[in-house]
């Protein structure tokens, strides 16, 4: 082996080891950055909203027929509350709502031509009895009666809303927004 060949081989070894050290350093830095990126990309837990209808058969008026509760009415109100929760509650926030009583807008009246019909009059305003608890079960439960005696003033605004229970949904939206949405309204995208 000549001196020149030995020098070239040493240089190649040095170059190889430098390259190997650089690759190991970059890959370990890349792995730690990837792990940090994964920690940053872990989604925050979604808000937790539990809704319970307490003894719905005893509700004053949560039915198309006046007494008790229809599954469609309860499902509509629950779906609306869940949409409000997704809009207003922060990630990881817990809220439990118990609906104790429902009295829908309008009242059931008899008409000779069409039978029982829900009539909207000033004396039949929407009313909901609610109890809610923010956070864990150790927090106190707050009971509220939510109603709008002047609900018919909304008629021109809600006349184009053909979804069911427009007055009740408006009443719940107003209550939920005042209680649980931040003042600036910038939590999540709109429902």
What are the pLDDT digits (tens) for 79-115?
Answer: 999 999 998 898 889 999 999 999 998 888 888 887 7
- Per the model's pLDDT, the better-predicted residue between 83 and 187 turns out to be 83
pLDDT level of residue 8 (50, 70, 90 thresholds):
low
16 pLDDT above the threshold of 90: no
Query: Which CA distances in Å does 140 have to 46, 107, 127, 134, 143?
Result: 23, 34, 23, 8, 10
191 pLDDT above the threshold of 50: no
Specify the pTM.
0.70
Give the pLDDT of residue 110. Answer: 83
Which sequence spans correspond to the domains of the chain? Answer: 1-42, 48-180
Given the DSSP bridges, would you call strands 115-119 and 94-103 parallel, antiparallel or unpaired? unpaired
How far from the centroid of its chain's Cα atoms is residue 118's Cα? Answer: 31
124 pLDDT above the threshold of 60: yes
- Per the model's pLDDT, the better-predicted residue between 125 and 33 turns out to be 125
**CA-wise closest residue to 63 among 53, 51, 72, 54:** 72
What are the pLDDT digits (tens) for 28-51?
Answer: 665 555 555 555 667 777 788 999
Cα 60 to Cα 67: distance, rounded to the nearest angstrom: 6
150 pLDDT above the threshold of 80: yes
- Label residues 136-172 b or e (16+ Cβ within 10 Å = b): eeeeeeeeeebbbeebbebeeebeeeeeebbbbbbbb
Cα 69 to Cα 77: distance, rounded to the nearest angstrom: 12
- Helices 71-88 and 166-180, axial angle in degrees (round to 10): 30
| Sole residue written with tokens 């004396």 | 123
When the pLDDT of each residue in the chain is averaged and rounded to a whole number, the result is 80
Size of the chain in residues: 191
- Per the model's pLDDT, the better-predicted residue between 58 and 183 turns out to be 58
């Amino acid at each position: 082996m000549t001196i020149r060949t030995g020098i070239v081989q040493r240089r190649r070894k040095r170059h190889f080891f430098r390259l190997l050290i650089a690759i190991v350093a970059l890959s370990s830095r890349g792995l730690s950055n990837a792990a940090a990126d994964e920690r940053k990309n872990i989604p925050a837990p979604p808000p937790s909203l539990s809704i319970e209808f307490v003894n719905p058969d005893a509700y004053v008026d949560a039915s198309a027929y006046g007494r008790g509760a229809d599954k469609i009415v309860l499902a509509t109100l629950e779906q609306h509350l869940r949409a409000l929760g997704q809009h207003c509650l922060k990630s990881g926030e817990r809220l439990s709502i118990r609906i104790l009583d429902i009295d829908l807008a309008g009242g059931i009246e008899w008409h000779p031509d069409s039978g029982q019909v829900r009539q909207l009059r000033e004396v039949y305003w929407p009313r909901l009895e609610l109890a809610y608890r923010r956070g864990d079960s150790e927090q106190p439960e707050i009971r509220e009666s939510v109603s709008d005696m002047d609900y018919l003033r909304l008629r021109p605004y809600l006349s184009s809303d053909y979804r069911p229970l427009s007055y009740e949904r408006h009443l719940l939206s107003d209550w939920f927004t005042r209680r649980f949405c931040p003042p600036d309204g910038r939590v999540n995208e709109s429902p």
